[in-house]
Amino acid sequence: MIAAATPAHVDLVVAAAEAGKAVFCEKPMALTIAEADLAITAAETAGVPLQVGFNRRFAPDFVAAHDAVAGGTIGTPHQLRSITRDPGLANPAGVPPWTIFLLTLIHDFDLLLWMNPGTRPVEVHAVADALVAPEFKDAGLLDTAVVVITFDNGAIATAEASFSAAYGYDVRGEVFGSAGMVTAGGGARSSMVHATSSGRHVETVRGDVELFLDAYTAEFIELADAVREKRAPAVRGEDARRALVIALACIESVKRGAPVSTSEMEPG
Amino acid sequence: MIAAATPAHVDLVVAAAEAGKAVFCEKPMALTIAEADLAITAAETAGVPLQVGFNRRFAPDFVAAHDAVAGGTIGTPHQLRSITRDPGLANPAGVPPWTIFLLTLIHDFDLLLWMNPGTRPVEVHAVADALVAPEFKDAGLLDTAVVVITFDNGAIATAEASFSAAYGYDVRGEVFGSAGMVTAGGGARSSMVHATSSGRHVETVRGDVELFLDAYTAEFIELADAVREKRAPAVRGEDARRALVIALACIESVKRGAPVSTSEMEPG
Amino acid sequence: MIAAATPAHVDLVVAAAEAGKAVFCEKPMALTIAEADLAITAAETAGVPLQVGFNRRFAPDFVAAHDAVAGGTIGTPHQLRSITRDPGLANPAGVPPWTIFLLTLIHDFDLLLWMNPGTRPVEVHAVADALVAPEFKDAGLLDTAVVVITFDNGAIATAEASFSAAYGYDVRGEVFGSAGMVTAGGGARSSMVHATSSGRHVETVRGDVELFLDAYTAEFIELADAVREKRAPAVRGEDARRALVIALACIESVKRGAPVSTSEMEPG
Amino acid sequence: MIAAATPAHVDLVVAAAEAGKAVFCEKPMALTIAEADLAITAAETAGVPLQVGFNRRFAPDFVAAHDAVAGGTIGTPHQLRSITRDPGLANPAGVPPWTIFLLTLIHDFDLLLWMNPGTRPVEVHAVADALVAPEFKDAGLLDTAVVVITFDNGAIATAEASFSAAYGYDVRGEVFGSAGMVTAGGGARSSMVHATSSGRHVETVRGDVELFLDAYTAEFIELADAVREKRAPAVRGEDARRALVIALACIESVKRGAPVSTSEMEPG
């Protein structure tokens, strides 16, 4: 179970794999394609499962949305959306540059890939700024980002992130297709509604543990099941690599102020 | 168009009918069965339409609920519920005794009869109190009531009213049956939701005109159509009489502290 | 942990208490007041905690609703509602008479008592019928019931149950008071919504384990905490007795076809 | 009242203005900046009001959202979203190229400008494809588009359109800011919900008249009020021009496959 700081991930994955252990690695598994490949190869060579912590794939509402898409409910995906708005930025000074793409939106990239199965992202255009904490912009902190991803089946996806949602922890997804739409997320703390002289009110989820407790539990169960059943887990090193390609394309897109082809991210 | 004070209704209906006019009468059309029969007979004799102002039958959400029930979506009704909570009590001193049954819940009684078509109410049990303005209880003001109505098809309905909802004007209905349930109402002012540090918020409807503007318009259109098409309107004097039977049974039930058979309300 | 058939509960509670064990007993703890008192006395004498399985008190949405009421959000309760609609009736022939009051609505009675703290139920009026499975009515099966409970603070509560909701497991509560309203429950399986050519759809919860998994877990945690902290648990034998008084009054009310005073249920 | 085919708009606006008439012109008022300026100048010279048919500004839910934003509820806007998904494409062969930007998303561009007051759009990046009717792509029909607009206050907006939503007419907006979020739209036909063995269902709006009847009425009332009160209407020729700049930048962005500065759209 690798939940160390990001730069330590790959070495730990390799060491664990070489020790013959099944590996669970928090996202992002790696920060470069070369490192991602190293981790994937190490697990393959050792013949151990390598699962990555894309917990949204185990949240009941996103699972239901995915199953509806996979079951054909919405036809062919045309437009997708994934949002991550964190409840706040505790320590802006401690946030490494490009965190919004590499650590935050990496979840959304994986979700979009999962929700649009059998396709490849072709082009990525990212816009980002420091709107929450502009005083840290010069230090490289980008706290607000919007990304447009074009897929080879024509589907167009947007991913949005903010490091500070006043109303709590906002994680949502939407897939719109030729036969309909699914949405998931919303952030209500429970079904409780109270109505007073100022209207109707719903309490909102404030933290990731509250929002994803079931998902965190389910992803560990998945690894245990994969080990017991001697099969690959549902979310693998390759998935981390695919999401990383998009994150790296975002960084390049912001630098250039232009769309970037995902193929450019692949090592020569 | 008769929208005078309730005690004047029947005389005005009779006069209008005798003058050959199509008649729209606000609810309650009459306060006694004898008077209701007088009005109905006058309209019949004159051959004019007599429509009663049960506006909920023309509200789009209640129409949709009714159509779903009539279309068999929920199977046979087993349990029904209708609620009226008014936004406040401007002048408790001016409210005649039994208003909550004769003027307020009369809407709910009509709705329940409409939503459970082809049946007859058999027994009525009402409980009422002065909880909003207890200081007016001795003067006969009951501002809170719950009514249970048993129908001859076994369905059991509840009707609830309060003269003071802090959050606005709350009118809702529910029909539960062998194959499902419909609900209508809710009181959101629009689809707008705002989320702030205190959670998610929806503005609520504050007055009857805001809630029922479309219904008020549609019921007048119905009368115009009925006149033009030389047919009876959708809500007639007989409907006013049927709802009145339940209201009178409620009054008797509160007096006795016991359930009352609707047949007792019919003139000997 | 006593989850045996209901008639065995009290003997097991007494035996466990005499053995010095902390006791968790599924609802209903007892079927008569005398037996309830026996169980309560046994636990008191032995100095052991006696917790009863009213799981709704531990469901997050009902806890949030209760906290809002207890915190004064809705002012003084005026009208309350609690609903239990089970997803189906597997074996009507095996259901003992009065189950709907003693085993099903007992949850709702406890909830209503909990949501209207510091009050006593004064009068109970129950109406019940066999609408789901009328062929079992002669055998004493009542599968549909509506109960009105009047409290000594004037509040009027309704409790409704059906043994067969086509759309799943429907457990809801509502408390309306001088300053507002809270509602809880709803039965959506997750936040996932899908929209197709036939409109917008939400999947509904189908079973009690799915709906109440968190509550079942939390009530056991409560007992463990109570034992560790050497204190009484949140839901006790006395609570089972209070809910039982209402259930017994319902049975008497159905037999008489009239409201029944709760004081009549107390042993001479 | 100018509701002719788009190419006829400007000549009609000019003729009406020269005749001294108050002018209402359907969107888009013009297809080029030069023509937009012609219309604006004609109205100014004649001293007549010139209102443009951006009806969303008069829809109750969008008005409520706008008022919440204008009232500071959500702080400074950081991310905005506007969606238009039409219920279907009756005659793809008859749709002129760039319609999705010039006639459809023009509504969204106006909405985004209105929701982010006091700012200017700086850069526009558009991606579009023919996913609904790919057989018409060669003829220039783009039926699916996603646009990212960067504003001079740093806010990043997305606008999305599709010519074919299976579930009806889907118009939504979202403004997320430093202190919260507002959302508007949703497409429920009424508050009616029905639940059956296949879950819970809400009927969805199918056409623009159903969705925007109140807005269409309100925009005509606005013009009448503006004339009576001798003031400019709420939505003017200048607003049409501002939205057009974004639409033209979208066309250029699709052609180039790159972001386009709005300043490039201004005539030399």
Nearest to C197 among D166, D188, D201 (CB): D166
Stretch C197-222: mean pLDDT: 95
Share of chain A above pLDDT 90, in %: 96
- Taking the Cβ of residue B166 and every Cβ of chain A, the question of whether any pair is shorter than 8 Å is answered with yes
DSSP β-ladder status, D23-25 and B170-177: unpaired
Helix residue ranges per DSSP H, A47-165: 60-70, 99, 105-115
Predicted TM-score (pTM) above 0.90 = yes
| Mean pLDDT to the nearest integer, D234-243 | 98
Residues forming beta bridges with residue A196, ordered by sequence position: A199
**Taking the mean position of all CA atoms in its chain, how far away is CA A158?**
13
Averaged pLDDT for residues C191-207: 96
CA distance D122 to chain C (A): 35
Residue A108 predicted with pLDDT over 90: yes
Q: Note whether D190 contacts B61, CB cutoff 8 Å.
A: yes
> Cβ contacts (< 8 Å) between C188 and chain A: which residues?
191
Tens digits of residue pLDDT in C45-87: 999 999 999 999 999 999 999 999 999 999 999 999 999 999 9
Average pLDDT over residues D126-147: 96
D89 pLDDT above the threshold of 90: no
Pairing state of beta strands C260-261 and C193-196? unpaired
- Contact between chains at D199 and C204 (C-beta distance less than 8 A): yes
**Are residues B181 and C162, on separate chains, in Cβ contact within 8 Å?**
no
- What's residue D91's pLDDT? 87
Residue of C195, C197, C202 lying closest to D200 (CB–CB): C202
Which residue has 């004070």 as its token pair? B5
CA neighbor of B56 nearest in space, from B112, B107, B6: B107
Distance CA A253, CA D171 (A): 30
- The verdict on a CB contact (< 8 Å) between B68 and D184 is no
Q: Does D92 touch chain A (CB under 8 A)?
A: no
CB of D72 within 8 Å of any CB in chain A?
no
Average pLDDT over residues D39-60: 98
Mean pLDDT of chain B: 96
- Chain B residue numbers with beta carbons less than 8 Å from the beta carbon of A167 are 195-197, 199-200
CA nearest C184 in A: which residue?
Answer: A192
> What is the average per-residue pLDDT within B53-73?
97
Segment B171-197 mean pLDDT: 96
Alpha carbon distances (Å) from D254 to A23, A254, B184, C35, D126: 44, 19, 46, 79, 6
Cα–Cα dist C68/D71, whole Å:
28
Instruction: Annotate chain B with three-state secondary structure.
Output: CECCCHHHHHHHHHHHHHCCCCEEECCCCCCCHHHHHHHHHHHHHHCCCEEECCHHHHCHHHHHHHHHHHCCCCCCEEEEEEEEECCCCCCHHHCCCCHHHHHHHHHHHHHHHHHCCCCCEEEEEEEEECCCCHHHCCCCCCCEEEEEEEECCCCEEEEEEECCCCCCCEEEEEEEECCEEEEEECCECCCCEEEECCEEEECECCCHHHHHHHHHHHHHHHHHHHHHCCCCCCCEHHHHHHHHHHHHHHHHHHHHCCCEEHHHHCCC
- Helix, strand or coil, per DSSP, at residue C122: strand
Q: How confident is the model at residue A139 (pLDDT cuts 50, 70, 90)?
A: very high
What is the number of other CB atoms lying within 10 angstroms of the CB of residue C64? Answer: 20
- Residues contacting C228, CB < 8 A, separation 6+: none
Count other C-beta atoms under 10 Å from residue A252's C-beta. 17
The predicted-structure confidence for C108-125, as pLDDT tens digits, reads as follows 999 999 999 999 999 999
pLDDT, position C268: 73
Task: Report the pLDDT averaged over residues B120-128.
Answer: 98
- Rounded to the nearest angstrom, the minimum Cα separation between A48 and chain D is 41
**Would you call C72 an interface residue with chain A, using a CB distance cutoff of 8 Å?**
no
C-chain CB neighbours of D172 within 8 Å are: none
As a whole number of angstroms, the distance between CA D218 and CA B57 comes to: 26
Looking at residue D79, its pLDDT comes to 98
Chain A residues in contact with D158 (beta carbon < 8 A): 146, 148, 158, 160
User: What are the tens digits of pLDDT across the range D19-34?
Assistant: 999 999 999 999 999 9
Residue range A135-144: mean pLDDT, rounded: 94
Share of chain C above pLDDT 90, in %: 96
> If you count DSSP H runs as helices and E runs as strands, how many of each does chain C have, helices first?
7, 11
Dihedral, CA of residue B163, residue B166, residue B170 and residue B175, to nearest 10: -90
Inter-chain touch B85–C176, beta carbons under 8 Å:
yes
Judged against a pLDDT cut of 90, whether residue C94 lies above it is answered with no
Residue A173 in tokens: 């997804």
D9 with D30: CB under 8 angstroms? yes
Task: Determine the distance in angstroms separating the CA of C205 from the nearest CA of chain D, rounded to an integer.
Answer: 9
Shortest CA distance to C125 belongs to which of C264, C263, C253? C253
* B-interface mutation test, from C147, C158, C204, C260, most B Cβ less than 10 A away: C158
Residue B19 burial by Cβ neighbours in a 10 Å radius (0-12, 13-18, 19+)? exposed
In which band, very low, low, confident or very high, does the pLDDT at C162 lie, cut at 50, 70 and 90?
Answer: very high
Is the Cβ–Cβ distance between B111 and B140 less than 8 Å?
Answer: no
Query: Measured between alpha carbons, how far is D27 from D21 in angstroms, rounded to an integer?
Result: 18
B184/D195 CB distance under 8 A: no
Helix (H, G, I), strand (E, B) or coil at C141: coil
Question: Which residues in chain A have Cβ-Cβ distances shorter than 8 Å to B195?
Answer: 166-168, 187, 204
Provide the pLDDT confidence category of residue A91 given band limits of 50, 70 and 90: confident
Q: CA dist A64 to A69, D13, D69, D254, Å? A: 9, 52, 33, 35
pLDDT reported for residue A94 = 87
Distance CA B46, CA B22 (A): 10
Residues A9 and A52: their CA atoms lie apart, in Å, by 11
Continuous segment of H or E residues that includes residue D183: strand D180-185
Reported ipTM: the value is 0.96
State the pLDDT at residue C229: 96
Residues of C in contact with D183 (CB under 8 A): none
Say yes or no for a CB contact (<8 Å) between C160 and B155: no
* Chains touching D, CB cut-off 8 Å, 3+ pairs: A, B, C
- Within an 8 Å CB–CB cutoff, is residue C65 touching chain A? yes
The reported pLDDT for the residue numbered D39 is 98
What is the mean predicted confidence (pLDDT) over B168-177?
98
Above pLDDT 70, what percent of chain A? 100
Cα gap A69→A65, rounded to integer Å: 6
Q: Is D143 exposed, middle or buried (0-12, 13-18, 19+ CB in 10 A)?
A: buried
3-state secondary structure of D250: helix
Q: Look at A204 and B199 and tell me if their CB atoms are within 8 Å.
A: yes
DSSP bridge pairs for A52: A25
Is residue B111 within 8 Å of B62, Cβ to Cβ?
yes
**A-proximal residues of C, 185-244, CB under 8 Å:** 185-186, 188-197, 203
Across D61-69, average pLDDT: 97
- Among candidates A184, A185, A194 on the partner chain, residue whose Cβ is nearest the Cβ of C182: A194
User: What is the 3 state secondary structure string of D133-173?
Assistant: CHHHCCCCCCCEEEEEEEECCCCEEEEEEECCCCCCCEEEE
The values of phi and psi at residue C191, to 5°, are -80, 0
Give whole-number Cα distances, C177 to A18, B205, C57, C81, C113, in Å. 65, 18, 20, 12, 15
C259 touches chain B (CB under 8 A): yes
- Which two tokens mark A104? 């935050």
| Separation in Å, CA of C140 to nearest CA in chain D | 28
Look at residue C174 in the predicted model and tell me its pLDDT. Answer: 98
Chains with 3 or more CB pairs under 8 A to chain A: B, C, D
For chain C, the average pLDDT equals 96
Q: Which of A85, A146, A200 to mutate to test the interface with D (most CBs of D within 10 A)?
A: A146
Chain A residues lying within 8 Å of C65, measured CB to CB:
192, 194
Neighbours of C268 (CB within 10 A): 2
Contact check, Cβ <8 Å, D192/B182: yes
- Across the interface, whether the CB atoms of D195 and B181 are under 8 A apart is answered yes
- Under a CB-based contact definition with an 8 Å cutoff, are residues B130 and B123 in contact? no
State mean pLDDT over A6-27: 97
Specify the pLDDT at position A261: 98
Interface test with D, best of B190, B201, B203 (most D CBs within 10 A): B190
Where is average pLDDT lowest: A23-27, A40-44, C86-90? C86-90
